[in-house]
Amino acid sequence: MTIVNQLELQVLMQAVNRRAPFGERDYWLIQLLTNTGLRVGELVALNVGDVTTEGRPRQVLFLQSEQAKGGRSRSIPLNQPAREAIAGLFAFLRVRGFSTAPTAPLLVVRQHRRISIRLVQQIFQHLREKCNLDTPATPHSCRHFFATQLVERTQDVVSVSRLLGHSRVQTTMVYQHSSPDRLAAVVRALEG
Protein backbone atom coordinates (compact mmCIF):
# COMPACT_ATOMS: atom_id res chain seq x y z
CA MET A 1 0.00 0.00 0.00
CA THR A 2 1.43 3.32 -1.11
CA ILE A 3 0.65 6.39 0.95
CA VAL A 4 1.76 9.80 -0.22
CA ASN A 5 2.66 12.38 2.39
CA GLN A 6 1.68 16.04 2.59
CA LEU A 7 4.90 17.28 0.96
CA GLU A 8 4.57 14.85 -1.96
CA LEU A 9 0.98 15.94 -2.52
CA GLN A 10 2.05 19.59 -2.53
CA VAL A 11 4.78 18.83 -5.08
CA LEU A 12 2.25 16.97 -7.23
CA MET A 13 -0.27 19.81 -7.07
CA GLN A 14 2.40 22.41 -7.83
CA ALA A 15 3.29 20.42 -10.96
CA VAL A 16 -0.19 21.08 -12.37
CA ASN A 17 -0.09 23.76 -15.06
CA ARG A 18 -3.23 25.61 -14.00
CA ARG A 19 -3.07 27.73 -17.18
CA ALA A 20 -3.40 24.64 -19.38
CA PRO A 21 -6.90 24.09 -20.79
CA PHE A 22 -7.74 21.46 -18.15
CA GLY A 23 -5.21 22.47 -15.50
CA GLU A 24 -7.83 23.86 -13.12
CA ARG A 25 -9.85 20.65 -13.40
CA ASP A 26 -6.78 18.55 -12.61
CA TYR A 27 -5.74 20.72 -9.67
CA TRP A 28 -9.17 20.65 -8.02
CA LEU A 29 -9.59 16.95 -8.81
CA ILE A 30 -6.52 16.12 -6.69
CA GLN A 31 -7.70 18.43 -3.91
CA LEU A 32 -11.10 16.75 -3.86
CA LEU A 33 -9.63 13.24 -3.77
CA THR A 34 -7.29 14.01 -0.88
CA ASN A 35 -10.03 15.59 1.21
CA THR A 36 -12.82 13.07 0.70
CA GLY A 37 -11.17 9.66 0.45
CA LEU A 38 -13.24 8.84 -2.61
CA ARG A 39 -12.28 5.93 -4.81
CA VAL A 40 -11.44 7.07 -8.34
CA GLY A 41 -14.55 5.32 -9.69
CA GLU A 42 -16.71 7.17 -7.17
CA LEU A 43 -15.05 10.46 -8.10
CA VAL A 44 -15.64 10.15 -11.83
CA ALA A 45 -19.29 9.13 -11.22
CA LEU A 46 -20.09 12.41 -9.45
CA ASN A 47 -22.56 14.77 -11.03
CA VAL A 48 -22.73 18.52 -10.36
CA GLY A 49 -25.91 18.06 -8.29
CA ASP A 50 -24.21 15.52 -6.02
CA VAL A 51 -21.89 18.18 -4.63
CA THR A 52 -23.66 21.50 -5.21
CA THR A 53 -26.97 23.15 -4.51
CA GLU A 54 -27.72 26.13 -6.75
CA GLY A 55 -24.03 26.37 -7.62
CA ARG A 56 -22.81 26.38 -4.03
CA PRO A 57 -20.84 23.47 -2.52
CA ARG A 58 -22.81 21.25 -0.20
CA GLN A 59 -21.72 20.55 3.36
CA VAL A 60 -22.10 16.79 2.94
CA LEU A 61 -21.62 14.50 -0.04
CA PHE A 62 -24.12 11.65 -0.05
CA LEU A 63 -22.93 8.83 -2.27
CA GLN A 64 -25.85 6.80 -3.58
CA SER A 65 -25.50 3.02 -3.49
CA GLU A 66 -25.18 2.90 -7.30
CA GLN A 67 -22.21 5.31 -7.14
CA ALA A 68 -20.37 3.58 -4.30
CA LYS A 69 -18.32 0.40 -4.44
CA GLY A 70 -20.13 -2.58 -3.02
CA GLY A 71 -23.46 -0.78 -3.26
CA ARG A 72 -22.95 0.77 0.19
CA SER A 73 -24.22 4.34 0.23
CA ARG A 74 -22.49 6.72 2.63
CA SER A 75 -22.28 10.34 3.70
CA ILE A 76 -19.01 12.23 3.63
CA PRO A 77 -18.89 15.60 5.41
CA LEU A 78 -17.03 18.06 3.18
CA ASN A 79 -14.26 20.06 4.84
CA GLN A 80 -13.24 23.53 3.66
CA PRO A 81 -10.60 22.31 1.16
CA ALA A 82 -13.13 19.86 -0.35
CA ARG A 83 -15.72 22.63 -0.69
CA GLU A 84 -13.08 24.88 -2.29
CA ALA A 85 -12.33 22.10 -4.78
CA ILE A 86 -16.02 21.76 -5.61
CA ALA A 87 -16.35 25.52 -6.06
CA GLY A 88 -13.25 25.48 -8.27
CA LEU A 89 -14.62 22.64 -10.39
CA PHE A 90 -18.00 24.35 -10.72
CA ALA A 91 -16.31 27.61 -11.79
CA PHE A 92 -14.18 25.68 -14.29
CA LEU A 93 -17.31 24.15 -15.85
CA ARG A 94 -19.11 27.48 -16.04
CA VAL A 95 -16.17 29.50 -17.42
CA ARG A 96 -15.30 26.84 -20.02
CA GLY A 97 -18.88 26.52 -21.26
CA PHE A 98 -19.59 23.04 -19.88
CA SER A 99 -22.97 22.18 -18.42
CA THR A 100 -23.54 22.93 -14.75
CA ALA A 101 -26.94 21.23 -14.69
CA PRO A 102 -27.43 18.99 -11.64
CA THR A 103 -27.28 15.86 -13.83
CA ALA A 104 -24.12 16.95 -15.69
CA PRO A 105 -20.81 15.25 -14.86
CA LEU A 106 -18.63 17.14 -12.38
CA LEU A 107 -15.45 16.11 -14.20
CA VAL A 108 -15.45 16.35 -17.98
CA VAL A 109 -13.18 16.04 -20.99
CA ARG A 110 -12.99 18.26 -24.03
CA GLN A 111 -15.89 16.44 -25.76
CA HIS A 112 -18.22 17.32 -22.85
CA ARG A 113 -18.23 13.69 -21.69
CA ARG A 114 -17.51 12.33 -18.24
CA ILE A 115 -13.82 11.83 -17.49
CA SER A 116 -12.68 8.21 -17.38
CA ILE A 117 -10.92 6.40 -14.56
CA ARG A 118 -8.02 5.71 -16.90
CA LEU A 119 -7.60 9.40 -17.75
CA VAL A 120 -7.47 10.32 -14.03
CA GLN A 121 -4.74 7.67 -13.58
CA GLN A 122 -2.86 9.09 -16.57
CA ILE A 123 -3.06 12.61 -15.11
CA PHE A 124 -1.38 11.34 -11.95
CA GLN A 125 1.25 9.45 -13.93
CA HIS A 126 2.05 12.53 -16.03
CA LEU A 127 2.38 14.72 -12.91
CA ARG A 128 4.56 12.13 -11.14
CA GLU A 129 6.91 12.03 -14.12
CA LYS A 130 6.88 15.81 -14.51
CA CYS A 131 8.07 16.39 -10.94
CA ASN A 132 10.25 13.25 -10.70
CA LEU A 133 8.29 12.00 -7.71
CA ASP A 134 9.71 8.69 -6.47
CA THR A 135 6.55 7.75 -4.59
CA PRO A 136 4.05 6.11 -6.94
CA ALA A 137 1.35 8.70 -6.26
CA THR A 138 -1.96 7.51 -7.68
CA PRO A 139 -5.60 8.42 -7.18
CA HIS A 140 -5.83 5.53 -4.72
CA SER A 141 -2.81 6.73 -2.74
CA CYS A 142 -4.77 9.96 -2.13
CA ARG A 143 -7.47 7.81 -0.54
CA HIS A 144 -4.81 6.20 1.66
CA PHE A 145 -3.52 9.66 2.59
CA PHE A 146 -7.01 10.77 3.64
CA ALA A 147 -7.55 7.64 5.72
CA THR A 148 -4.13 7.73 7.38
CA GLN A 149 -4.49 11.39 8.32
CA LEU A 150 -7.91 10.81 9.88
CA VAL A 151 -6.88 7.73 11.84
CA GLU A 152 -3.69 9.39 13.10
CA ARG A 153 -5.51 12.54 14.19
CA THR A 154 -8.65 10.99 15.65
CA GLN A 155 -7.81 7.35 16.48
CA ASP A 156 -11.45 6.70 15.50
CA VAL A 157 -11.15 3.70 13.18
CA VAL A 158 -14.89 3.02 13.20
CA SER A 159 -15.81 6.48 11.87
CA VAL A 160 -13.03 6.39 9.29
CA SER A 161 -14.25 2.98 8.17
CA ARG A 162 -17.72 4.44 7.57
CA LEU A 163 -16.31 7.42 5.67
CA LEU A 164 -14.33 5.11 3.41
CA GLY A 165 -17.25 2.76 2.81
CA HIS A 166 -15.48 -0.29 4.17
CA SER A 167 -17.75 -3.20 5.03
CA ARG A 168 -15.42 -4.31 7.83
CA VAL A 169 -13.57 -2.19 10.39
CA GLN A 170 -10.60 -4.57 10.11
CA THR A 171 -9.99 -3.28 6.58
CA THR A 172 -9.46 0.21 8.00
CA MET A 173 -7.04 -0.99 10.69
CA VAL A 174 -4.17 -0.93 8.16
CA TYR A 175 -4.17 2.86 8.50
CA GLN A 176 -3.49 2.68 12.23
CA HIS A 177 0.28 2.95 12.39
CA SER A 178 2.13 2.63 15.66
CA SER A 179 4.80 5.30 15.38
CA PRO A 180 7.39 5.57 18.18
CA ASP A 181 5.76 8.83 19.34
CA ARG A 182 2.32 7.18 19.47
CA LEU A 183 3.67 4.21 21.44
CA ALA A 184 5.41 6.57 23.89
CA ALA A 185 2.15 8.51 24.39
CA VAL A 186 0.26 5.29 25.12
CA VAL A 187 2.82 4.25 27.75
CA ARG A 188 2.83 7.76 29.30
CA ALA A 189 -0.93 7.43 29.75
CA LEU A 190 -0.21 4.78 32.39
CA GLU A 191 1.81 7.23 34.48
CA GLY A 192 -1.16 9.20 35.75
Q: Check 25, 27, 39, 144 and give the catalytic one.
A: 39
Helix intervals (H) in the chain: 6-14, 23-36, 40-44, 48-51, 80-95, 117-130, 139-154, 157-164, 169-172, 180-188
Annotate 58-73 with b (16+ C-beta within 10 A) or e (fewer).
beebebeeebbeeeee
Catalytic residue among 18, 130, 140, 162: 140
Q: What is the dihedral of CA 157, 162, 164, 168, to 10 degrees?
A: 70
Contact 9, 142 (CB under 8 A): yes
| Residue 126 among the catalytic residues | no
Among 18, 37, 36, 35, CA closest to 27 = 18
Separation in Å, CA 149 to CA 61, 93, 115, 146, 154: 19, 30, 27, 5, 8
144: annotated active-site residue: no
Q: Is 130 a catalytic residue?
A: no
Residue 27 designated active-site: no
The two most distant CA atoms of the chain are separated, in Å, by 64
Q: Which residue is catalytic, options 56, 69, 94, 182?
A: 69
Distance (Å, whole) CA 55 – CA 104? 12
Give the active site residue among 25, 83, 128, 166.
166
Considering the candidates 83, 128, 143, 144, report the single residue annotated as catalytic. 143
Say whether 175 is catalytic. Answer: yes
Q: Which residues are catalytic?
A: 39, 69, 140, 143, 166, 175
